[in-house]
Amino acid sequence: MRNELDQQLASAASEAQAAAQTLDGSAVAPSRNEPDTAHPSASVSPQAPAEERPRHRCVELGRAVVITSGKGGVGKTTVTANLGTALADAGKRVVVVDADVGLRNLDVVMGLENRIRKHSLDVIEGHASLDEALVRDRVRKMLALLPAAQNRDKDEIAPEAMRALVAELQERFDFVLIDCPAGIEQGFRNAVAGAQEAIIVTTPEVSAVRDADRVAGLLSGAIAPKLILNRIRPQLVKRGSMLNVDDVLDILRLELIGVVPDDKDVIVATNRGAPVVDIAGSETGAAFRRIAARMLGEALPIPALSDRSPWFARMFASLPFGKRSSTRGS
């Protein structure tokens, strides 16, 4: 019973392998999470029957990544769903965790809202097993969702409980992507508790950048966050009405892991409960796939928007971010 989901994942590995080949043009590397060499026959590869896998594996833990932002509505949930999808297509076992107790939305964005039986609080409180709570994606067998409770409060989870839950997920998945709620209250503290990595999502707007700066400050020390700049509209940047990539990096000084263009594809996809990475020809979807590849260690260049807006540079020099905008670029 406990390994039900593992078995489903294992049987799906071959499909995912094919998908991975189209993603990076080469055969998929063995998962870093496959059982250690002491049990070569107990691989999670498609050839190995699931029954042969030992129950108490000594495995390398998966990567727990929190997707956060401070400000709401910048695209955390969309980023989580799409990176999860793209990583699953790359042959990784992925669980996306909705940490927005009381205002869950990851299930809607993934089109899984009607399949929810139990949620993370049920697991934490011992009312359900992880297998009962995990919802497998409709299309990708390597991808699962751990939904949040909708009628409960964020204060009902303690960071320690969340940490234990994430640790358990890390034993079973290559990636645990945690969709953080907006704000910096208890829900935020819970969402970051179990993560070893963080991705801060921001948009090229002063308020979003300011909040991202605040969150980066709250994370620093524990985690070195990476940055996704979401919803860039190149024509607005050109006109000088929107911050460009350099402006944002000057202020935040975080490692940039991707730039995602604004696209109504995302609204369409969200309302349909399908990931935008599945929309053929979508630039936004392609950007998410590149970010997933970078998370897996590929050195893909990030296309730079070189237009600089002088009045923004001036304005930011005077904004109370505690960091001065640099002289880089011109």
Partner 1 sequence: MMDANVFVVTSGKGGVGKTTTTANIGAALAKLGKQVVLVDADIGLRNLDLVLGLEKRIVYDVVDVIEGRCQPRQALIKDKRIAGLYLLPAAQTKEKESVSESQMEHMTHALAGQFDAVLIDCPAGIEHGFRNAIAGASQAVVVTMPEVAAIRDADRILGMLGSRRARVLINRIRPEMVKSGDMLSVDDVREILGREILGIVPDDEEIIDATNRGQPVVLDGARRLGAVYSTIGRRLLGEDIPYVELPNDGLWLQLRKMMAGLR
The CB-of-236 to partner 1 minimum distance in angstroms stands at 6
| Segment interacting with partner 1 (CB under 8 A) among 24-32, 48-56, 69-77, 219-227 | 69-77
- 91, 95, 94, 110: which is closest to 15 by C-alpha? 91
Q: How far apart are CA 41 and CA 56, in angstroms?
A: 14
**175 counts as binding partner 1 under rule CB under 8 A:** no
| Segment interacting with partner 1 (CB under 8 A) among 10-18, 98-106, 118-126, 137-145 | 98-106
Per CB under 8 A, the list member of 268, 300, 304, 317 interacting with partner 1 is 268
- 213, 222, 146: which is closest to 184 by C-alpha? 213
**158 counts as binding partner 1 under rule CB under 8 A:** no
Per CB under 8 A, the list member of 50, 158, 206, 302 interacting with partner 1 is 206
* Ramachandran region, residue 261 (left: φ > 0; alpha: ψ -120 to 50; beta: rest): beta
Q: How big is the CA angle at 43 (ends 93 and 66), to the nearest 5 degrees?
A: 25
Per CB under 8 A, the list member of 74, 123, 249, 260 interacting with partner 1 is 74
> Which three-class secondary structure state does DSSP give residue 258?
strand
The CB-of-45 to partner 1 minimum distance in angstroms stands at 37
Site string for partner 1, 210-239 (x = CB under 8 A): xx--x------------------x--x---
Q: Which is nearer to partner 1, 48 or 109 (CB)?
A: 109
Six token digits for residue 254: 């975080």
Q: Which residues pair with 81 in a beta bridge?
A: none
Beta carbons of 148 and 104 less than 8 angstroms apart: yes
Per CB under 8 A, the list member of 55, 56, 264, 328 interacting with partner 1 is 264
Q: From the CB of residue 280, how many other CB atoms can be counted at a distance below 10 Å? A: 5
Strands 63-68 and 197-202, bridge-based pairing: parallel
Footprint on this chain of partner 1 (rule: CB under 8 A): 70-74, 77, 102-103, 105, 108-109, 150, 153-155, 181-187, 205-208, 210-211, 214, 233, 236, 241-243, 264, 267-268, 270-271, 273, 312, 318-320
